[in-house]
Amino acid sequence: KAGVTQTPRYLIKTRGQQVTLSCSPISGHRSVSWYQQTPGQGLQFLFEYFSETQRNKGNFPGRFSGRQFSNSRSEMNVSTLELGDSALYLCASSLVAGVSNEQFFGPGTRLTVL
Amino acid sequence: AQRVTQPEKLLSVFKGAPVELKCNYSYSGSPELFWYVQYSRQRLQLLLRHISRESIKGFTADLNKGETSFHLKKPFAQEEDSAMYYCALMRAGGTSYGKLTFGQGTILTVHP
Average pLDDT, chain A: 93
CA B51/CA A11 separation, integer angstroms? 38
Q: What is the pLDDT of residue B30?
A: 81
Q: Is the peptide bond before B31 cis (omega within 30 degrees of 0)?
A: no
Contacts of A95 in chain B (CB under 8 A): none
Q: Which amino acid, B74?
A: K
CA A59/CA A72 separation, integer angstroms? 23
Between A98 and A76, the higher pLDDT residue: A76
Test A108 with B43 for CB contact under 8 angstroms.
yes
Closest alpha carbon within chain B to A102: B46
Q: At residue A28, does pLDDT exceed 80?
A: yes
Test A106 with B32 for CB contact under 8 angstroms.
no
**Per-residue pLDDT averaged across B31-35, rounded?**
90
Contacts of B101 in chain A (CB under 8 A): 45
Closest alpha carbon within chain A to B5: A42
Q: What is the pLDDT of residues B45-98, one digit of tens each?
A: 999 988 777 778 999 998 888 899 999 999 999 999 999 999 999 887 666 777
Q: What is the pLDDT of residue B92?
A: 75
Lowest mean pLDDT segment, chosen from A5-19, A20-34, B21-35: B21-35
Closest to A29 measured CA to CA, from A114, A105, A89: A105
Q: What is the pLDDT of residue A99?
A: 57
Q: Between B45, B98, B105, which is nearest A105 by CB?
A: B45
Test B101 with A45 for CB contact under 8 angstroms.
yes
Q: At residue A5, does pLDDT exceed 60?
A: yes
Closest CA of chain A from B49, distance in Å: 9
Q: What is the pLDDT of residues B5-27, one digit of tens each?
A: 999 999 999 999 999 999 999 99
Test A45 with B105 for CB contact under 8 angstroms.
no
Lowest mean pLDDT segment, chosen from A18-27, A28-37, B60-69: B60-69
Q: What is the pLDDT of residue A98?
A: 60
Say which DSSP state B80 is in.
Answer: G
Q: At residue B44, does pLDDT exceed 80?
A: yes
Q: What is the pLDDT of residue B31?
A: 86
Test B96 with A50 for CB contact under 8 angstroms.
no
Closest alpha carbon within chain A to B44: A105
Between A65 and B29, the higher pLDDT residue: A65
